[in-house]
Amino acid sequence: MSETKTAGVRADSGAPSGTGGRNVVQLYEVARTAHLERIADTDGVTLLYREKRYDFDERVADGVRVERAGLIGAAWYAATHAVDLVEVNEPLVTRAALRSLLFIGAARVRAFLTRRPRPTVVTYAIANVPTSTLRANLPWKARVKFELHRPLARLVARSLDRIAFGTPDARDLYRDEFGSTRRGAARLVEALPVAVDLGASADVARPPSILFLGDLAARKGFPDVMAAWSQVRDTVADARLVIVGRGDGVEQARLLSEADPRVELFVAPPRDVILDQLARAKVLVLPSRRRPLWKEQIGLPLVEGLAYGCVVVTTDETGIAPWLRAHEHAVVPEAQVAERLTGAMIDALRQSVTPGDVQRALPDRDGRVAAREWLYGIEG
């Protein structure tokens, strides 16, 4: 059964704007609000997803063409629609490999039978966990499934016409994993945002407030932020902590916010509340922690915090750590979070910078948009 939303999107198959005049399908396993926002002003793009992420905003979905489609549904879509370009999940998302291959195969057969050009296949890659690490840590049942999918992932890699890497870590990993067997053009386009227009407030220093945004989980460093807060509170007069998100730490966050008037909690709020808090925060903290099967790829809250002019406090787990370190944000070694996170948060609050100071280091083009334009062949 499919679930489709097309409000505000052209229903015809004529030359769409923003995609080089082509019909584009984004074939993702999981859809989140950020995916929807990136195509909100672009005709000609259909997003097919298998699952919704917890932050999937139905109101944003109302403005784009988005359809829920599993293994068979995705293949059927490719067999019954003209597809000029498909963006698939990156090959190292191995669970997506079979669905990607079925879609690619069906789209190519349809193109052959209808005498249309063969669809272009592209992907955006930010994976950073080596196969050797997965093999060493997966439970045996999951490892069997992984080993079955791994050859399919190699076929997806060989099917690509273009691949854009969002971080140097991803570029290096794909070189190690696939080497010369990977075909197609490749480019590194770091996943950095452009500045959000803050008007006159860009040049006004913000009050000493810290924002934790996202999953209130141990892997995101939320317990570490909670442990550091009492000392930060006692050291920096008028410091405030704003917690926005959902997850295992909600009850702990609620107890703290009820006991401390300088802590504010928003549980799974609407998107406009999130953006409002980003525009108020001086510091965005996300001290991601390593897990056996997981390492922070980028961290969307970090990207959004930079766009809004926040000073970032994070760990060296994120793929944009080198850029953050080079631009005077706080990058704490993951192994030293317990010893150094508190000091990093205090130092960030005490920085005499404005949001505009942070934003001036950002590129003129959003990294994800620039990558998409190159992948889709629509660079200006």
**Residues 10 and 150 reside in one and the same domain:** yes
**Residues 162 and 300 reside in one and the same domain:** no
**Residues 179 and 204 reside in one and the same domain:** no
**Residues 187 and 232 reside in one and the same domain:** no
**Residues 281 and 156 reside in one and the same domain:** no
**Residues 106 and 229 reside in one and the same domain:** no
**Residues 154 and 226 reside in one and the same domain:** no
How many domains, in total, are found in the chain? 2
Query: 328 with 179: CB under 8 angstroms?
Result: no
**Residues 302 and 186 reside in one and the same domain:** no
**Residues 328 and 344 reside in one and the same domain:** yes
**Residues 210 and 175 reside in one and the same domain:** no
- Inter-axis angle of helices 271-280 and 300-307, to 10 degrees? 60
CA angle 227, 238, 314 (to 5 degrees): 45
Query: 295 with 274: CB under 8 angstroms?
Result: no
DSSP 91: T
**Residues 156 and 249 reside in one and the same domain:** no
Tens of each residue's pLDDT in the chain, 380 residues: 334 433 332 223 333 446 767 899 999 998 887 888 888 777 789 999 999 877 776 776 677 888 899 999 999 999 999 999 999 999 999 999 999 999 999 999 999 999 999 999 999 999 999 999 999 999 999 999 999 999 999 999 999 999 999 999 999 999 999 986 567 899 999 999 999 999 999 999 999 999 999 999 999 999 999 999 999 999 999 999 999 999 999 999 999 999 999 999 999 999 899 999 999 999 999 999 999 999 999 999 999 999 999 999 999 999 999 999 999 999 999 999 999 999 999 999 999 999 999 999 999 999 999 999 999 998 65
CA angle 243, 244, 249 (to 5 degrees): 70
* Angstrom distance (rounded) from CA 108 to CA 112: 6
Pairing relationship of beta strands 240-246 and 209-215 according to DSSP bridges: parallel
272: CATH: 3.40.50.2000
**Residues 208 and 297 reside in one and the same domain:** yes
Write out the residue range of the structural domain in which residue 24 sits.
4-192+366-376
